[in-house]
A and B are shown apart, each in its own frame.
Chain A
Amino acid sequence: MKFKKVSATASALAAIALGFGAISPAHAASAQEITVWAMCSEVGEIAAAKEQVAAFNGFYDGQYHATLTCKADMGTAIKSTSVGQLPSVFEFDGENLAAYVYAGKLHQLDGVVPASVFNNELVSIQAEGTYKDGHKYSVSQYDSGLGLFASKKMLKAAGINDVPTSYKNAWTATRFTAVLKALAAKASGKKAIDIKENYGMGPGWPGYAFTPIVNSAGYQIVTNNKAVGALDSTAVVNAFKTFASWKPYVDPSSDDKAFENGRVGLAWVGHWQYPALSAKLGSDLAVLPLPDFGVGSKSGQGSHSWSISANTTGAELAASNVFLQYIMKDQWILNVTDQNGAVPATKTALNKSVNYRKGGPLQLYADQLSASCGTAKPTKACVTVPRTISAAWPVINTAFGTAVQTIWNGGDAKTALHTAAVTIDQDYTDHSGY
C-alpha cells in the first residue's frame, strides 16, 4: 500500500518533469524571457496580475515569455535590491518614482514606450510618471480617487441643502465646520465624519489624504526645493488649525465602518471604499469633493506604477516594452480596475468604465484627475496634486505625517509645520538639492 503510494507519486513527478521537459526547450530556443515583479497586496490585484501575465505569454507564445514574481512589500524589495538584480519590469508605489530615478534604478521610458501610450494616460498619471528632468519613467494602469462619501439622507435630515455637485462648488472650510456641527447634532453618537483615523494619523495616510489641505491653502509642500515658507506659511497653518478643530466631530472608526454602519454621515476616504459602500447604501450614497481651504477644493492622486529597470537592454528591453504596451491595453486596465475599483488611468479605458465615465457615479474622481495641478503652485483651476515628485519624498512623508499627528493631538500647528519644513529643507541641503 505504502509502496504503491510512493510509486504513484514518483510516476506523477516523472510525468510533470517530462511535461516541463517538453515545454521548456521550445522557450529556450526562441522566446525572449523577461522577469516581472508585481505588487501583491490585494486579492483582486494579485488575480489581475496573474491573468495579464498568462494572457501575455499566450498571445506572444514562442516570441516572448514573462515570469511573474509576487512581492508583498515592494518598497523594501526595491530598496534592498541593487539595480543589476532588479527584474526587467516591475510595479511600484508611484509616490516613490523620484527616489528610484535618483537612485538610478529606473529606465527612461520616452523613446522606449510609444508616445501614444503616454498621451492616452490621464493628465494626473502623466504628471506622476514624469521626473524633474522632464522625462517619463513609468506608466500606470490605474489612478486613485479621493473625496468625501456622504449619506444624502443624513445630510437632508441635518438640514443641509447646499450639497456640492462638482469640485467647482465644494464647501468652504468654514461652511464645512457648520456642516459637521449640524450632522453631529443629529447623529446618535454625536459624531459627523470618518477621516480614517484607523489608518494611522502618523506618517503614511496624511501624506496622501491631508496633503490636499496644504494644496487647497495654495501651496505645494515643497516649492522650489524649499518647504520653509510653503508648508509653514500662515495659510497652511490656519488650514490645519481648522482641520484640528473638527476632531470633536470625528469618529475614530476603530472598526473601519463608522460611515458604512451609519454612525456618521460623511467619510474622507478614497475610491477603494466605493464597492462596499455602494452595496450597503445604494442610491443614498453621494461622492463629494473635499472642502476648500481658500484656493479651491484639492485632492490626491497616484497609485501603482510600472517601469523597466535601468540595466535592461537589447532584446530584453524590447520585450519589456511590448509587455508594458500589452498591459496598458484597455482590456487589461479594465480587468484590474474592475477587481480593485480604482480609476482607469487611460482616457479610452475611462470612457468604457461604467463607474467613471461621464454620468457615472464616480465621474467626480475622473473630473478631478483630469484637472491635475502637476508640480506647479496650485490655483483655483486645478484639483489633484501629486505627492511631491522628489527623492526626498520618504523624508517629506515622515515629517509631514508627524506634524499632522502632532496637530491632530493638540500640538501647536505653527511649530509642528515649521519643524517639519526645517527637517525637509535640511534633507534637500544634505543631498545638494537632489
Chain B
Amino acid sequence: MTSKKRSKFGQDNLAGFLMSLPGLLLLILFVVIPFLTAVFLSFFNVDFNMVGGPKFWGFENYRRILVDPISSPSFYKALLNNFTFALIVVPAQTALAVLLAVMLNAKLRGIAFFRTFFFMPVVFPMSLVAIIWALMFSRDSLGMLNGLLNLISFGQIQPIDWLGDPNIALLSIALLSVWAGVGFQMVIVLAGLQEIPHELYEAANLDRANAWQRFWNVTIPGLRNTLVFVVIITTIFSLRLFDQVYILTQGGPIDATQTVMLQAVTSAFVEGNVGKASAITVIFVLIIIVLTLIQRLFLKQNREVK
C-alpha cells in the first residue's frame, strides 16, 4: 500500500460505512436484536399468555434440552436428523444439479423449454409440493409411488409405508426435497458452466480428450467456485428443514423426521413455550456459527491456492 492510497483510506472508509449502513441497520434490526432477545428469553420460564410475567430460571431450558433424560433425546434425535438429511441431500442434490445443468447446457432447439421445466418445482411453494407428495407417498397400493413400484415389479414389491416407517421416512422427505430443490442449484451451475471459456474445450479437443476427460478436467475445475457456493447454500437450506416435515409427518414416526427448526416452531407457536424455543434457536445458531467458521477455513484455503 502506498502512502497516497493510505490517505484516501479514511474517506473510503467513511463512504463504505455509509453505503453499508442500510444493510447493517437491517442486519441489526432483524438478526442481532432478535438473537440477543432470544439469548435473554432463553434464561426465563416464559410463554404466551403467561400470568404474572416471566420467571428467571437460569439454565433450566438448556438443561431440559441438552441433559434431561426425558426431554433431551428428542433434541439430539432432531439434530442427528438434520445432519443425516444434509449428508443425504447435499451430495445428491449437487451431483444431480451438475448432471442436469450439463445436459441442459447442450445447444438444442427448445432447450429453454426444458430448462424452465426442470426449474419449475423451485417455483412451487413447498406447502403445495408437500401436499402433492403426500398423495404419492400414501402407504397403501393406491399411492402413486407404491402403484408404480407394484406395476414395474409385476406385483413383487409390496406397498411401502413411505412416511410411516421410521427407517424410510427421512429418506422419503429427502427424496421430495431433492426433487423440489434441485432446479435452483441447477440454474446456478448452468450459469457457472457458461462462464467456462470455450477455448478450454477447444484446447481439450485438440489434445484428443474424450467427453469424460473434458468433463473431469475442464468442466469440474471450471465450476469449482460455483460448486463451493452450491454446497454451502444447500447445507444451509437442508439445516433449516421445516416445511416438508411440518406438513407431512410433524416430526414422526417416532421422531424419525424431527428437526431442530420443527422443535423450535412447535415449542413457540403450539405449546407457547417461548423460553424453550429461544434456547433451541440459540443452541442452533451456535452450531451454525461453528459450521460457518469451518466452511470459511475451507474457502480461505481455496483462495490461497488461487
With known contacts A252-B140, A254-B143, A406–B254 Cβ distance under 8 A: yes
Check: B134 CB closer than 8 A to any chain A CB: yes
Instruction: Tell me if B48 and A79 are in contact (CB < 8 A).
Output: yes
Check: B108 CB closer than 8 A to any chain A CB: no
Separation in Å of the A70 CB from the closest CB of chain B? 21
Instruction: Tell me if A203 and B250 are in contact (CB < 8 A).
Output: yes
Q: Which of B143, B165, B252, B272 contacts A402, CB < 8 Å?
A: B252
Check: A408 CB closer than 8 A to any chain B CB: yes
Give Cα A102 to B269, complex, Å: 17
Check: B51 CB closer than 8 A to any chain A CB: yes
Separation in Å of the B272 CB from the closest CB of chain A? 6
Instruction: Tell me if A395 and B142 are in contact (CB < 8 A).
Output: no
Residues of A within 8 A of B141 (CB): 189
Q: Which of B134, B252, B266 contacts A406, CB < 8 Å?
A: B252
Instruction: Tell me if B51 and A408 are in contact (CB < 8 A).
Output: no
Instruction: Tell me if A423 and B266 are in contact (CB < 8 A).
Output: no
Instruction: Tell me if B166 and A410 are in contact (CB < 8 A).
Output: yes
Check: A374 CB closer than 8 A to any chain B CB: no
Q: Which of B50, B142, B253 contacts A255, CB < 8 Å?
A: B142
Residues of B within 8 A of A401 (CB): 250
Separation in Å of the B144 CB from the closest CB of chain A? 10
Instruction: Tell me if A406 and B271 are in contact (CB < 8 A).
Output: no
Interface residues of A in 84-139 (CB under 8 A from B): 99-100, 102-105
Most chain-A Cβ atoms within 10 A of its Cβ — which of B50, B135, B142?
B142
Q: Which of A189, A200, A391, A411 contacts B250, CB < 8 Å?
A: A200
Most chain-B Cβ atoms within 10 A of its Cβ — which of A104, A189, A203, A394?
A394
Instruction: Tell me if B272 and A394 are in contact (CB < 8 A).
Output: yes
Residues of A within 8 A of B45 (CB): 430
| B side interface size, CB within 8 A | 31
Residues of A within 8 A of B210 (CB): none
Instruction: Tell me if A423 and B254 are in contact (CB < 8 A).
Output: no
Interface residues of A in 188-245 (CB under 8 A from B): 189, 191, 200-203
Residues of A within 8 A of B194 (CB): none
Most chain-A Cβ atoms within 10 A of its Cβ — which of B45, B49, B134?
B49
Give Cα A151 to B141, complex, Å: 23
Instruction: Tell me if B70 and A405 are in contact (CB < 8 A).
Output: no
Residues of A within 8 A of B292 (CB): none
Interface residues of B in 39-57 (CB under 8 A from A): 45, 48-51
Q: Which bucket holds chain A's interface residue count?
A: 35 or more
With known contacts A254-B140, A394-B271, A410-B254, A99–B49 Cβ distance under 8 A: yes
Residues of A within 8 A of B138 (CB): 252, 254
What residue of chain B has the Cβ atom nearest to residue A412's Cβ? Answer: B254
Check: A52 CB closer than 8 A to any chain B CB: no
Residues of A within 8 A of B252 (CB): 201-202, 402, 405-406, 409
Q: Which of A189, A255, A395 contacts B271, CB < 8 Å?
A: A395
Instruction: Tell me if A398 and B271 are in contact (CB < 8 A).
Output: yes
Instruction: Tell me if B271 and A409 are in contact (CB < 8 A).
Output: no
Check: B164 CB closer than 8 A to any chain A CB: yes
Give Cα A103 to B48, complex, Å: 8
Give Cα A207 to B142, complex, Å: 27
What residue of chain A has the Cβ atom nearest to residue B266's Cβ? Answer: A398
With known contacts A398-B270, A423-B71, A405–B250 Cβ distance under 8 A: yes
Residues of B within 8 A of A394 (CB): 270-272
Check: A330 CB closer than 8 A to any chain B CB: no
With known contacts A79-B49, A202-B251, A423-B71, A409–B134 Cβ distance under 8 A: no
Give Cα A255 to B139, complex, Å: 12
Residues of A within 8 A of B150 (CB): none
Residues of A within 8 A of B51 (CB): 102-104, 431
Separation in Å of the B244 CB from the closest CB of chain A? 14
Instruction: Tell me if B142 and A254 are in contact (CB < 8 A).
Output: yes
Check: B249 CB closer than 8 A to any chain A CB: yes
Separation in Å of the B188 CB from the closest CB of chain A? 35
Binary interface encoding of chain B residues 124-136 relative to chain A, with 1 for a CB under 8 A from any of its CBs, else 0: 0000000000110
Instruction: Tell me if A103 and B49 are in contact (CB < 8 A).
Output: yes
Instruction: Tell me if A422 and B70 are in contact (CB < 8 A).
Output: yes
Most chain-B Cβ atoms within 10 A of its Cβ — which of A201, A252, A422?
A252
Separation in Å of the A243 CB from the closest CB of chain B? 15
Separation in Å of the B167 CB from the closest CB of chain A? 10
Check: A251 CB closer than 8 A to any chain B CB: yes
Check: A419 CB closer than 8 A to any chain B CB: yes
Residues of A within 8 A of B250 (CB): 200, 202-203, 401, 405
Residues of A within 8 A of B165 (CB): 409
Q: CB within 8 Å of A: which residues of B?
A: 45, 48-51, 70-71, 134-135, 138-143, 164-166, 249-255, 266, 269-273
Give 5 closest A-B pairs by Cβ, nearest first.
Answer: A409-B253, A103-B49, A202-B250, A254-B138, A405-B252
- Contacts A401-B250, A402-B252, A419-B70 given; 5 further ones with Cβ under 8 A? A103-B51, A254-B134, A394-B271, A402-B251, A422-B70
14 intermolecular pairs with C-beta atoms under 8 Å apart: A99-B272, A103-B48, A103-B49, A103-B50, A189-B141, A202-B252, A391-B49, A394-B272, A409-B164, A409-B252, A409-B253, A409-B254, A410-B253, A427-B271
